[in-house]
């Protein structure tokens, strides 16, 4: 693929090959056959899933984001609540989709992959495929991270598989007459009166005594743990400060030198089976040791120099790396180099003492009391308002009688791209409310609010005409996404997936 580009990129392919060798040294390290034998992560469709399969899928997840394949990431990540959960969902759903695509005959050919790559915005200039941008992306984005052109093609092939399957399973989706009109009515400008309850005002009266702290500690003690911490030894191969501003071919050449040195040390460790200190000393390399850090890379203090770069990079793998000679990993350190690491020490998790937990317990108890007081006050005010309105008073008179001063907002529209987070939360809380109704309490970062919908403005004809096609497309896409999600859930259930150990 892209034969013309390749003819002029022999030196780039040499670099990619070198980095691929390093990746294989990392992913396929066979110094300990027993360790490899226990590397089965899961079973799916009756076959074993190895750690290398997971690493490959994680790289595809990262590359899909870099290439702007957000639909692929979104649809395979599902309703994830965190980055780790999104990556986990993506890994298993990707395997299911690939299996089902082959079964359904939804397998894009090489030319389809080439054509799709040429349409990616990251590779275009003024709407046309730009070989220079493609080459630059390969040099500056893929090669330094150990990615290859084959992985790029794999991600695009998966995107085409997704599109083909969605077309099949989403074909029954249609937008019924009147659905767009009903949806447009929901987004008419809102004239609101907003009642607010400020947490900061309530918090002044919140007190927590030592007895409450002791009781909370006793109740939560089983879950109050100082997490395991680890320290790693490392040899760093990174660009020097004066090299970090390099660009283009000069930067790639410098990174190639660092990658080659990393691979040489990795091979020496593999061949010799020794520990990092011994092998590095034989090669005249400096070995450094980090402070102890938690799985989130926190150390309880500031990190200086190289430690500050290595710890965040090493934290993701250090807690699944066994301690002892021959157990090492290669990690990418930012965008400027690599490090070979091994575990230097382990501090086991232990129960927190009361003094260690005191500050967090106090803050948690205060926040809980504050939020409860805000809600209690709001519920009382809202009950008075509703009783007064039921008795015949209008909203303004009822609010005045209850001592709550509403804040008036006119013409609030969810279509306004300039809305603040607070305004958008209010608009979304009121979007389905009828005119003349009072909503319930909604928590917010600064306390909470309730909305009274005084009236709705009219959506002007021009805005309605502009929004109708988007609304219809949005409704259709939503129905197609639902059908695909239902299909994927069924297919995953039929895959006989058994996860044998956590991925992250």
Between 5 and 452, the more confident residue is 452
Q: According to the model, what pLDDT value does residue 14 have?
A: 36
138: domain CATH number?
1.10.4030
Q: According to the model, what pLDDT value does residue 21 have?
A: 36
pTM of the model: 0.53
HSE value, Cβ hemisphere, 13 Å, CA-based, for 110: 3
User: Do both 154 and 7 map to the same domain?
Assistant: yes
With respect to residue 470, please indicate whether it lies within any of the assigned structural domains. Answer: no
With respect to residue 463, please indicate whether it lies within any of the assigned structural domains. Answer: no
- Mean pLDDT across 216-242: 91
With respect to residue 504, please indicate whether it lies within any of the assigned structural domains. Answer: no
User: Do both 293 and 317 map to the same domain?
Assistant: yes
Q: According to the model, what pLDDT value does residue 39 have?
A: 73
- Boundary-marking domain end, from 293, 320, 351: 351
For residue 83, what are the domain limits? Answer: 3-172+483-499
With respect to residue 309, please indicate whether it lies within any of the assigned structural domains. Answer: yes
Q: According to the model, what pLDDT value does residue 205 have?
A: 80
User: Do both 395 and 438 map to the same domain?
Assistant: yes
pLDDT digits (tens, 9 = 90+) for 190-227: 899 999 999 988 778 888 999 999 999 999 998 899 98
At 244 the three-state DSSP class reads coil
User: Do both 274 and 382 map to the same domain?
Assistant: no
User: Do both 412 and 327 map to the same domain?
Assistant: no
User: Do both 397 and 416 map to the same domain?
Assistant: yes
Query: End-to-end CA distance of the chain, in Å?
Result: 35
232: domain CATH number?
3.10.50
User: Considering the chain, what is the average pLDDT of its residues?
Assistant: 83
pLDDT digits (tens, 9 = 90+) for 133-161: 888 888 777 776 667 788 889 999 999 99
- 199-203, long-range: CB within 8 Å, 24+ apart, which pairs? 199/370, 199/371, 199/374, 199/446, 199/447, 199/448, 200/446, 200/447, 201/447, 202/370, 202/373, 202/374, 202/377, 202/447, 203/366, 203/370
User: Do both 342 and 390 map to the same domain?
Assistant: no
Domain count, the chain: 3
- Mean pLDDT across 410-416: 84
User: Do both 13 and 93 map to the same domain?
Assistant: yes
With respect to residue 121, please indicate whether it lies within any of the assigned structural domains. Answer: yes
pLDDT digits (tens, 9 = 90+) for 61-114: 888 888 888 889 889 988 777 777 888 889 999 999 999 999 999 999 999 999
Q: According to the model, what pLDDT value does residue 16 have?
A: 39
User: Do both 318 and 431 map to the same domain?
Assistant: no
Query: Over pLDDT 70: what percentage of the chain?
Result: 88
Q: Which helix (H) or strand (E) holds 192?
A: strand 190-198
Which 8-state DSSP code applies to residue 318?
Answer: H
pLDDT digits (tens, 9 = 90+) for 328-378: 888 888 888 899 999 999 999 999 999 999 999 999 999 999 999 999 999
CB 232 within 8 A of CB 310: yes
Query: Over pLDDT 90: what percentage of the chain?
Result: 39
With respect to residue 39, please indicate whether it lies within any of the assigned structural domains. Answer: yes
Maximum alpha-carbon separation in the chain: 90
The β-bridge partners of 407 are 194
Q: According to the model, what pLDDT value does residue 18 have?
A: 40
User: Do both 64 and 151 map to the same domain?
Assistant: yes
User: Do both 12 and 138 map to the same domain?
Assistant: yes
With respect to residue 465, please indicate whether it lies within any of the assigned structural domains. Answer: no
- Boundary-marking domain end, from 297, 329, 351: 351
How far is Cα 450 from Cα 57, in angstroms, rounded to an integer?
Answer: 45
With respect to residue 441, please indicate whether it lies within any of the assigned structural domains. Answer: yes
User: Do both 46 and 139 map to the same domain?
Assistant: yes
């Amino acid at each position: 693929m892209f034969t013309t580009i390749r003819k002029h990129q022999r030196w780039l392919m040499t670099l990619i090959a070198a980095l691929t060798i390093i990746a294989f040294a990392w992913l396929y390290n066979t110094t300990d056959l027993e360790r490899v034998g226990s590397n089965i992560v899961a079973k799916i469709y009756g076959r074993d899933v190895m750690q290398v399969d997971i690493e490959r899928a994680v790289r595809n997840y990262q590359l899909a984001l870099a290439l702007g394949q957000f639909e692929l990431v979104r649809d395979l990540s599902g309703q994830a609540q965190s980055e780790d959960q999104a990556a986990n969902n993506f890994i298993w759903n990707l395997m299911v989709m690939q299996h089902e695509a082959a079964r359904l005959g939804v397998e894009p050919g090489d030319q389809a992959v080439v054509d799709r790559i040429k349409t990616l915005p990251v590779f275009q200039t003024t709407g046309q495929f730009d070989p220079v941008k493609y080459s630059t992306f390969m040099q500056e984005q893929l090669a330094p991270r150990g990615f290859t052109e084959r992985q790029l093609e794999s991600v695009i092939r998966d995107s085409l598989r997704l599109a083909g399957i969605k077309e099949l399973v989403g074909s029954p989706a249609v937008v019924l007459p009147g659905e767009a009109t009903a949806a447009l009515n929901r987004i008419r400008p809102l004239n609101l009166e907003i009642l607010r309850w400020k947490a900061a005002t309530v918090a002044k009266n919140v007190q927590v005594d030592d007895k409450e702290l002791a009781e909370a500690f006793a109740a939560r003690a089983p879950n109050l743990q100082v997490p395991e911490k680890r320290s790693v030894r490392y040899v760093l191969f990174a660009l020097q400060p004066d090299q970090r501003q390099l660009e283009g071919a000069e930067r790639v050449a410098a990174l190639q030198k660092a990658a080659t040195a990393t691979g040489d040390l990795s091979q020496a460790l593999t061949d010799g089976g020794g520990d990092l200190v011994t092998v590095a000393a034989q090669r005249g390399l400096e070995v450094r040791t980090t402070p102890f850090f938690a799985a989130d890379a926190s150390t309880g203090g500031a990190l200086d120099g190289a430690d500050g770069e290595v710890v965040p990079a090493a934290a993701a793998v250090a807690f699944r790396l066994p301690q002892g000679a021959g157990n090492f990993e290669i990690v990418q350190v930012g965008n400027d180099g690599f490090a070979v690491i091994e575990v230097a020490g382990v501090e086991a998790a232990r129960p927190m003492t009361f003094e260690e937990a005191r500050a967090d317990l106090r803050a948690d108890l205060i926040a809980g009391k504050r939020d409860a007081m805000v809600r209690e006050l709001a519920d009382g005010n809202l009950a008075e308002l509703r009783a007064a309105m039921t008795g015949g008073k209008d909203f303004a008179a009822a609010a005045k009688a209850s001592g709550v001063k509403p804040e008036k907002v006119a013409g609030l529209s969810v279509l306004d791209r300039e809305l603040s987070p607070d305004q958008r939360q209010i608009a979304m809380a009121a979007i389905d409310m009828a005119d003349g109704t009072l909503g319930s309490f909604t928590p917010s970062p600064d306390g909470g609010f309730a909305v009274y919908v005084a009236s709705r403005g009219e959506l002007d004809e021009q805005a309605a005409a502009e929004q109708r096609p988007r609304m219809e497309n949005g409704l259709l896409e939503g129905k197609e996404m639902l059908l695909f999600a239902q299909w994927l859930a069924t297919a995953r259930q039929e895959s006989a997936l058994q996860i044998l150990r956590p991925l992250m």
